[in-house]
Structure 1
Amino acid sequence: MSAKLVFLGRLEDIAGMGELAVNPGPLEQVLAALDPALAIELLGERVRMALNGALLGDGGGVILAEGDELAFLPPVSGG
C-alpha cells in the first residue's frame, strides 16, 4: 500500500497531475524523491497542507503512513 499526495489549484498544473502515490515515510524523504522544482513549490511559505482532511499548522514532523492522504493547498486569490 502507499500514501497519496494531492495537488490542488496551480500546484496541480506544476505537478502535471492531480495526485501521486508515494512510499510512506517522513515528509522530507517523500519530497526529496520528487522533482526538485515541484518540491520547492510545495514548500512555499503560503502553501498549506491537510493530512487526511485536517489542516496542519506546518509540515514539521509529518510522517506519512500507509493509506494517508496529504493535500497541498495553494494560496487562494480572488476579487
Structure 2
Amino acid sequence: MAVRWVPALVVAALWWWAVLRMVLEPGQTGFVEGAMIAGGWGLSLLPVHVASAAAGRRQPATQRPTRAWRRRRSDAGSDPS
C-alpha cells in the first residue's frame, strides 16, 4: 500500500515546490513550474467530475438513492398537531 503513496507524495512535493517558487521568486520561474502548477490545479478538479460515477458503481443494488429534503417556509405556519 505504501508503494502507491510514495509517487503521490513526490508529485505533491514537486507541485508545492513549484507553487512556492512562483510565489517567492516570480521572475525566476519558467515554463516547467507554470505547467506543473496548472497541471496540478487541473487534476484537483478531476475528482469533482469523477466522484459521482465512481460512487454509483460501488453502491449495493439494494441501496436507494437519497431524496432531497424540502424545508418548510417560515410563513407557512405551524403544524396543527
TM-score (norm 1): 0.22
Higher-RCO chain (CA-CA 8 Å, sequence separation at least 6): 1
Structure number with greater Rg is 2
Higher strand proportion, which one? Answer: 1
Higher helix proportion, which one? Answer: 2
TM-score (norm 2): 0.22
